[in-house]
Structure 1
Amino acid sequence: MPDPTFEERVRAAFAEALGTVPGDDEDFFDAGGDSLAAENVLLTLSAQLSTELPGWVLLDHPTVRGLAAALRSGEARI
């Protein structure tokens, strides 16, 4: 099985935290995400990627597409 793309990982983490699958450009917080859900997303992705993600990253990149791009570029990692 191929490694999931960053978009698939982010979408799955958002869906788990929100209880619904968001669109690629849907804002996590507008979709009902709160600080606890955001922390769960960051912890999930940090564990999957074996890196620490800063708390600000989801505030700066609150969409699946935006966060995936930040992860892919390395911008989101500490």
Structure 2
Amino acid sequence: DVVRDRVVSVLPGHMVPSAFVVLESIPLTPAGKLDRRALPTPELGRKSEFRSPETARQQKIADVFTELLDGRRIGIDESFFDLGGNSLVATRLVARVNAELGTGLRVLDLFEAPTIEELALRAESSKARGSRPVLGVVERPSVIPLSQAQRRMWFINQFDTSSPAYNIPLAVRLSGA
């Protein structure tokens, strides 16, 4: 508890370890490196009474949490990171929640609101941000603008138009109409 209190006072909430395990000695391999397989599995237990989702939005978010965090039942007050979530899973979770609810949540929102209840509140207000526009077919313009790289190549070529620097010599035989 002393170590946790010290870490909480120094680090942002999402960087505080979800579990602390006391070891008598650090297990080492014959090569003298940390033997990860010999480390005990940390217990990620509940710190409060279980509260189930109360709204449809919370239930959808809870379903995504459950699927991505090993299928166990998760209460709306439990922190994603305390349950073993990490930044890679966080990106998947946010993408899935956005797809399910049509919201514009960011990964930062999950770091700032790591519980189902808090994330559901963020999801409710994130609709104002909007989601990406639907891609569709558009008419092709008569003149297609150059990309920045193409503009750069053209600009450099104007200093010496006879330079073969960006030319690729090849022979092509064409036949037919």
| Distance 1:77-1:12 versus aligned 2 partners, 3 A rule | farther
String of CA shifts for 1:4-53, please: whole Å, max 9, x gaps: 71101110111111012211100100011111211111110111223432
Bigger radius of gyration among the two: 2
More helix by share: 1
1:12 aligns with 2:63: yes
Partner residue in 1 for 2:7:
none
Q: Distance in 2 between matches of 1:55 and 1:9?
A: 17
Q: CA RMSD in A?
A: 2.1
Residue 15 and residue 77 in structure 1: after superposition, are their counterparts in 2 closer, same or farther (change >3 A)? farther
Flag structure 1 segments of 5+ consecutive residues without an equivalent: none
Distance in 2 (alpha carbons) for counterparts of 1:59 and 1:50: 20
Give the counterpart letter for 2:84 in structure 1.
G
5 Å-filtered alignment, 1:1-78, equals: 5-19=56-70, 20-74=72-126, 77=129
Distance in 2 of aligned mates of 1:39 and 1:77: 18
- Contact 1:13–1:41 (CA under 8 A) maintained in structure 2: yes
1:10 maps to a residue whose letter is: I
- In 2, are the aligned partners of 1:17 and 1:37 still within 8 Å (CA)? yes
Distance in 2 between residues matched to 1:74 and 1:5, nearest whole Å = 16
Is the contact made by 1:70 and 1:76 (CA closer than 8 Å) also made in structure 2? no
Structure 1 CA distance for aligned equivalents of residues 106 and 99 of structure 2:
13
TM-score normalised by the chain length of structure 2: 0.38
Q: Percent identity?
A: 35
Aligned residues, how many?
75
| AA of the residue aligned to 1:61 | A
